[in-house]
Structure formats: C-alpha cells, structure tokens
Chains A and B, each alone.
Chain A
Amino acid sequence: QVQLVESGGGVFQPGRSLRLSCEGSGFTFSSYGKHWVRQAPGKGLEWVAFISYDGSKKYYADSVKGRFTISRDNSKNTLSLQMNSLRVDDTAMYYCADPDFSNYYFDNWGQGTLVTVSS
C-alpha cells in the first residue's frame, strides 16, 4: 500500500489559518481520490473532506464547509487541507486516508498530524 505521511500540525490560535499536507509514496497517488478524517482527543472519527483523483470533485462535512479547502498536486504526490477561521473544536488528530476501490470505505491511513487550537 501507498504510505501516507501527514505534516503541518501544531498549536494555533482561534481565527487563524493553517495548511496541512499529506505526502504519498508510489506511482498510484494520482489514480485515486483522497480523504481527510479527524479525531478530537478522546473522541470518535469524523470525516472532513474528499477530493477525486483529478481534483474535479470535492465534498465537505457540514462542520467545515466554507472554512476548509481540500486540494491536491499529483505532480508532487501531495494532498492538502487549507484550514481557515480555526475554532477550538477543530482541535483533533487529522488523518489523510485512501478510499478502497468502491470509494465507500477507507483502506489506508496515515499516522496523523495533531492540530491544537487554543488561545
């Protein structure tokens, strides 16, 4: 499977912006869609966003729509999540994940990058 490595996490103030990245290894990166999924400390999984293999389709959870933007650069095997107007409840581990062949499930996950939003 393709290895996924997230980066860009840290401590940020409410209202600020940040950009997460997910780098994938292997030549199949550009062939599949990609997801971001997050998990608040001690809480469950929450799907955040999806982008199709070519970037033509993007879907967002209601909780982030209008604030977050998912994008990808297939020439660099990189997935990104631009996070604007950060809120305290955006605090979470953010995972990038590959969908399976049906695009219904997540069959490959990165290790995650932790985002803490605090004043």
Chain B
Amino acid sequence: SYEVTQSPSLSVSPGQTASISCFGDKLGNKRVGWYQQKAGQSPLLVIYQDNRRPSGIPERFSGSNSGNTATLTISGTQAMDEADYYCQTWDSSHWVFGGGTRLTVL
C-alpha cells in the first residue's frame, strides 16, 4: 500500500517561513492536500490539489508538489499557526495520510 512520510516536528520564530515536507514514491504524480489540526479540534483543509487554498484560508498558506516531495509553506508564520499538519493523497481507492508534523512557533 502507498505511504507518505513527514518529519515529526518543526520549530520556527514568528514572521519566519515554515516549510513542511511530505515524501512518497513519485508523489508528484499524485494530488496532495494538507490539513491543519489545532489541539482539541477537528482537522481543517488548508491546501488541496497541491497548491489551491479553500475559501477563507489565508494567502500565507501555499503548497507545491514535484518529484517525491510535496511541501506546505507558511509565509510570515503567526502564533495562531501553531498546530499539527498532515499531508494526504489518494491511491487505488485508498485515502492516505502522512504521520503529521507538529509546528511550534516560538
């Protein structure tokens, strides 16, 4: 079965750019979404189709996907962006999540 992996944690200072990566075999040939999950809350879709933002998601969230790596980029990271972030793709009628990356803003 297809798998995607993420680094478990990332720390950035407020105002810096956070880049969260997701790795999978030929992931660039698949569509990738990203979810933000804050403590005690349900996940929220922040990027779909590699680089599209749902309505209401701030412009500082962007995405890319090429080769074996998809990346979620948060420009000008704010304290409110501190959360767990999950990448997700689809393969053979299975929806697949990465293990998540905990973003700390300090």
Give residues in A with beta carbon < 8 Å to B: 35, 44-47, 50, 59, 61-62, 95, 100, 102, 104-107, 109-112
Contacts and interface: CB of A to CB of B under 8 A. Distances in A.
B105 interface: no
A106 B88 CA distance: 9
A61 B95 CA distance: 8
21 contacts: A44-B84, A44-B97, A44-B99, A45-B35, A45-B37, A45-B86, A45-B100, A46-B97, A47-B97, A50-B93, A62-B1, A104-B49, A104-B90, A105-B88, A106-B33, A106-B35, A106-B43, A106-B95, A107-B45, A109-B42, A109-B43
A50 B96 CA distance: 12
A72 to B, nearest CB: 17
Contacts of A45: 35, 37, 43, 86, 88, 97, 100
Contacts of A104: 31, 33, 48-49, 89-90, 95
Interface in B67-106: 84, 86, 88-90, 93-100
B54 interface: yes
Nearest to B45: A107
B95 A47 contact: yes
B2 to A, nearest CB: 11
Given A104-B31, A104-B33, A107-B54, A47 B96 contact: yes
B48 A59 contact: no
Contacts of A102: 31, 48-49
Contacts of B98: 44
Contacts of B35: 45, 106
Contacts of B93: 50, 59
B94 A47 contact: yes
A6 B54 CA distance: 24
A107 B94 CA distance: 17
Contacts of A111: 42
Interface string B29-72: 00101010100001111001100001000000000000000000
